[in-house]
Amino acid sequence: MLTKKGIAVSPGVVICCAVVLDAQDVAVPRRTISPKAVPAELERLAQALADSRQDIEKLRDQAIASVGADLAKIFDAHLAMLADPSMMTQIHQAIENEYVTAEFAAYSVMRRVAKVFKDQENRYLQERATDIYDLERRLLGHLIGHSEESLNQLDAQAILVAHNLTPSQTASLDKTKIMGIATDLGGRTSHTAILAHALGIPAVVGLEDMTSSVNTGDMLILDGNRGQAIIEPNAEHLLNYREFKRQQDAFEHTLDELQTLPATTVDGTEIALLANIEFPDEIDPALAKGAVGIGLYRTEFIYLASDTEPSEEEQYEAYSKAIGLLEGRPLTFRTLDLGADKVWNKGNLDHVERNPFLGCRSIRLCLQNLPVFKTQLRALLRASVHGPIRIMFPLISNIMELRQAKMVLADVMEDLEDQEIEFSSDIPVGIMIEVPSAAIQSAVFAQEVDFFSIGTNDLIQYTVAVDRGNERIANLYSAAHPAVIQLIRDVVRVANRTKTEVSLCGEMGGEPEFTMLLLGLGLRHLSITPPAIPEVKQIIRSVSIEKCRRVAHKVASYETEHQVLNYLRTEVRRVLPDRASGSS
Ligand code: PEP
Ligand code: MG
């Protein structure tokens, strides 16, 4: 039995077998086999080589179609390396003479060969090391990990263990089979974490070397509340966890009863609890959890879940579907927020950047790719005839960017008018406040927008200079940082003074510890991940605004995030003494 600690990002406990996705860049442990097992091991290797060859041939054909035969030659080079007799002989010999597994033989030989290339003076030869690593990952993927495609054909439920998952990988998982997610990398508000939470899949990220400690088929307890994974648990642990899971289910059941009750404080202030979604299919479950509308529709997931560029028609269909499902309830569409960790690499929108979180992402990417941006805006405007919508631009960092985005919107409206295509001309336009410059200049922005939505996920990372997806510095990423709270306080004050509607749509809004503080700072609209709605509502219904103001006042006197967090946790325990223990 082995316990690994990570970062809890989506609550819930799962007890199930592991399935390991891709070996990626992890060390393969040396495991030996009996001499009798050698033929079977050689057969596994042959099969994995054949599968890898097939993958590469497919990639080569795709590349010929998309980038031309010249660039596609790289795949011919990969095929030649895979057939290299000297490397293959060494792998075979390791299996036959040292009795090691095929994966260890391939891993150790290929690493050795890559090192020889890496140590060369000649740049061209040095770069061949990258090709060997790439081949190694592909081969190991077939030997010990499931490839993405085969993940979708799992015949039993499993906990997915991966080095890292991209948001698009997460979005395309089969939710009926994947019961939990455990990754080596990742932080609390990485998009993979957000998606897992939204999908209700318990998840722990930042487990560091999880993929090299667990094999497909191992029994796992994944604890998404405490942020730990127990590999091959003993009987006592299994018993304890089954009991904990039972208590938790019972607690959730009591929360379900809140769904139809209003989110009103004890002194009668109504709070709008809206939901964050990525796909229209999340709308019905969000309404069932008690959401009164959608405060953040992350439209970039239409791209992330698609192999080809979504057409205007496809986008129009998705947006119209969402509007129809909401039957007149509020719906805020955020325009494409691609880039950084939300890379869509099936077209030509992604570029390798040294600092992707500070790079050409989000509204910047849209303003540099006007046809893509205009296609989306056309689809949104056309869909606006079906019900009330609002449009929100992400990552605005200066006023000129906002003006440019609004100009593009006006251009698209003009085109539609010229073509006599109907749309609503009365669409509120707002911005995410998620860059410190926008927070600081909120009074300037307030003159030119209808609403603000504070995106704390990015606001935190840019305020405290901590990559939201980096597990190594996850302890420095905190919504309780006094500087972050100060920025939120300032933005809400400006919004109230200028009568600009303000909401908050970062993960912070769904964390019960922060509910009193946010109400005390003056927020009356929160857009949160649907599973968090009942618990946040329970707190709202248990407190007065006066009490929340006192909490916010007290928080303003603290200098460190630890003081803030300790205080807020104590206050939540006072308000809800029965809250399930061990909650994240
Ligand atoms: C945010 O940054 O707080 C936000 C809500 O947007 P995203 O998590 O998609 O970046
Ligand atoms: Mg953001």
Domain contains 244: no
Domain contains 580: no
Are 276 and 370 part of one and the same domain?
yes
Domain contains 564: yes
DSSP characters for 458-476? HHHHHHHT--TT-GGGGGG
Percentage above 90 pLDDT, the chain = 64
Are 70 and 154 part of one and the same domain?
no
Are 306 and 229 part of one and the same domain?
no
| Residue of 462, 505, 525, 526 to test ligand 1 pocket, by largest number of atoms within 8 Å of CB | 505
Are 199 and 312 part of one and the same domain?
no
Are 57 and 183 part of one and the same domain?
no
Of 119, 144, 169, which marks where a domain is finished? 144
Q: How many CB atoms lie within 10 A of CB 128?
A: 18
Residues of the chain below pLDDT 70: 22-27, 29, 66-67, 71, 146-153, 579-584
pLDDT score recorded for residue 27: 61
Q: CATH number for the domain including 87? A: 1.10.274.10
What separation in Å is there between the alpha carbon of 455 and the centre of ligand 2?
6
Q: CATH number for the domain including 196? A: 3.50.30.10
DSSP characters for 464-526? HT--TT-GGGGGG--TT-HHHHHHHHHHHHHHHHHT-EEEE-SGGGG-GGGHHHHHHTT--EE
Domain contains 251: no
Are 205 and 78 part of one and the same domain?
no
Are 408 and 548 part of one and the same domain?
yes
Tens digit of pLDDT for each residue in 74-102?
A: 788 889 988 899 999 999 999 999 999 89
What separation in Å is there between the alpha carbon of 455 and the centre of ligand 1?
5
Are 533 and 431 part of one and the same domain?
yes
DSSP characters for 69-109? HHHHHHHHHHHHHHT-HHHHHHHHHHHHHH-B-HHHHHHHH
Active-site residue, 553 included: no
Domain contains 179: yes
Instruction: Report the nearest atom of ligand 1 relative to the CA of 300.
Output: 9
d(CA 364, CA 27): 38
- Domain count within the chain: 3
Are 6 and 140 part of one and the same domain?
no
Nearest CA to ligand 1 atom 9: 298
Are 266 and 222 part of one and the same domain?
no
pLDDT score recorded for residue 22: 63
Range of the domain at 187: 2-22+150-237
Annotated catalytic residue, options 78, 92, 197, 505: 505
Contact 434, 395 (CB under 8 A): yes
Domain contains 530: yes
Q: CATH number for the domain including 479? A: 3.20.20.60
| Residue of 189, 332, 358 to test ligand 1 pocket, by largest number of atoms within 8 Å of CB | 189
Of 237, 266, 298, which marks where a domain is finished? 237
Instruction: Report the nearest atom of ligand 1 relative to the CA of 340.
Output: 10
What separation in Å is there between the alpha carbon of 381 and the centre of ligand 1?
23
Contact 136, 84 (CB under 8 A): no
Of 122, 144, 166, which marks where a domain is finished? 144
Annotated catalytic residue, options 191, 197, 481, 525: 191
Q: Which ligand has the shortest distance to the CA of 395?
A: 2
What separation in Å is there between the alpha carbon of 244 and the centre of ligand 2?
34
Domain contains 249: no
Are 358 and 460 part of one and the same domain?
yes
Domain contains 88: yes
Are 100 and 181 part of one and the same domain?
no
Active-site residue, 191 included: yes
